[in-house]
Amino acid sequence: MRILAIETSCDDTSLALVECRGRLPAGRQGLKTPRFKVLKNIISSQIKIHRPFGGVVPTLAKREHIKNLPKILQKLKIENLKLKIDAVAVTVGPGLEPALWAGIEFAKELAKKLNKPLIGVNHMEGHLYSNVLKNIRIDFPAIALVVSGGHTILLKMTSLTKWKKLGETRDDAAGEAFDKVARLLGLPYPGGPEIQKLAAEGKPVINFPRPMLREKSYDFSFSGLKTAVLYYLRDNPTASKADVAASFQQAVIDVLVAKSVRAAREYGAESILLCGGVSANKALRMFLQAAAKKLGVGFFVPDFEFNTDNAAMIAAAAYIQKLRGRKNRLIAQSNLTL
Ligand SMILES: Nc1ncnc2c1ncn2[C@@H]1O[C@H](COP(=O)(O)OP(=O)(O)OP(=O)(O)O)[C@@H](O)[C@H]1O
Ligand SMILES: [Mg+2]
């Protein structure tokens, strides 16, 4: 079936057309099904609009989504849309409530006009399934590290549709920590890509804390690390900002990699999956991949186009949800969980 998916949970307006086929794998071995072909995926970023405010302004995001959605639909250039698609899918949460409503209202109207079913999708399931867009074979059990602007979650997956949360952040999410430290360094929003760029010019020579690294729990905490950077910059005003960026980035990576590896060992994982906006970080990808190789387990990360918010991953999650026979209410649910 072909799914037209809509994503507006934060500051990216995205529409995608994805061909979805196959069934859910029956056993633990990840067969190659279901399969996806991303036919179109357009992402329109609102970064320029929110940048002066140092973060996303929900009411502005809503206004921009409402303006952008019909434009992007036009840009997809799908003739005879009614004949080309079998369902419409839309993110219902988690996310910014006004932004979510913009997508939901648009999707409802479109589905009604085309007389197609509408599937409400959990944005975090979208991130999780961004990995299967590549039609890879994932062997289970797997450890999934979901690192984004609002979430840092470690999951143990026994199949594509069954998982248990091992731990999550107790305060700031990994992406949020990147964004806040970027602000301390005078870098623009969003901070992740900026820190990555600056870190490449420096060395990780400052020994920032690795929060909760040695604790048994699989939870994370990044706000203390952010405070450590704040104090370091206050006490060392002439410090190399590139070294600070590289040292901060390394501290985050060390914690994420150590906990993922420990979980993979404890649960006999066959694979490690990385996803969410922070999975765009090249150093994180490199270190986690090397750790997985050392453990002798598979490593999966989405192509760069599908790390941060996009509608293709929402289509994949919608299809898998449909195969499971599950439904989400078609209202904005800003606190929806995995
Ligand atoms: N190269 C990078 N290195 C580190 N962080 C990055 C990189 N690229 C993006 N990020 C971070 O990823 C986050 C955005 O990811 P994403 O779009 O998945 O978050 P979100 O949708 O706002 O939050 P959530 O998915 O939790 O609801 C931002 O915090 C951004 O700084
Ligand atoms: Mg996201």
CA angle 261, 262, 265 (to 5 degrees): 85
Distance 145 CA to ligand 2 centre (A): 13
* pLDDT for 24: 84
Q: Domain 140-304 belongs to what architecture?
A: 2-Layer Sandwich (3.30)
- Sorted by where each begins, the domain ranges of the chain are 2-128+306-324, 140-304
Q: Nearest Cα to 199, choosing from 149, 249, 237, 240?
A: 249
- Rounded average pLDDT over 223-234: 97
pLDDT surpasses 80 at 140: yes
pLDDT surpasses 80 at 2: yes
* pLDDT for 28: 57
Q: Would you say the pTM of this structure is higher than 0.85?
A: yes
Could you tell which of 50, 92, 148 is best to mutate to test the pocket of ligand 1, judged by most ligand atoms within 8 Å of the CB? 148
* Residue type at position 126: G
Tokens of 21: 């086929």
Domains 2-128+306-324 and 140-304 share a fold: yes
- Rounded average pLDDT over 216-240: 97
The percentage of residues in the chain with a pLDDT greater than 90, rounded to a whole number, is 91
Which amino acids bring their CB within 6 angstroms of ligand 1? Answer: 9-10, 94-95, 123, 127, 148-151, 175, 178-179, 190-193, 196, 276-278, 280-281, 308-309
Cα–Cα dist 269/291, whole Å: 13
In DSSP terms, 36 is beta-bridged to 20
* Residue type at position 57: V
- Rounded average pLDDT over 262-269: 98
Helix (H, G, I), strand (E, B) or coil at 306: helix
Q: Domain 2-128+306-324 belongs to what architecture?
A: 2-Layer Sandwich (3.30)
* pLDDT for 3: 98
Number of Cα atoms under 13 Å in the Cβ half of residue 19: 3
Closest ligand 1 atom, residue 56 Cα: 22
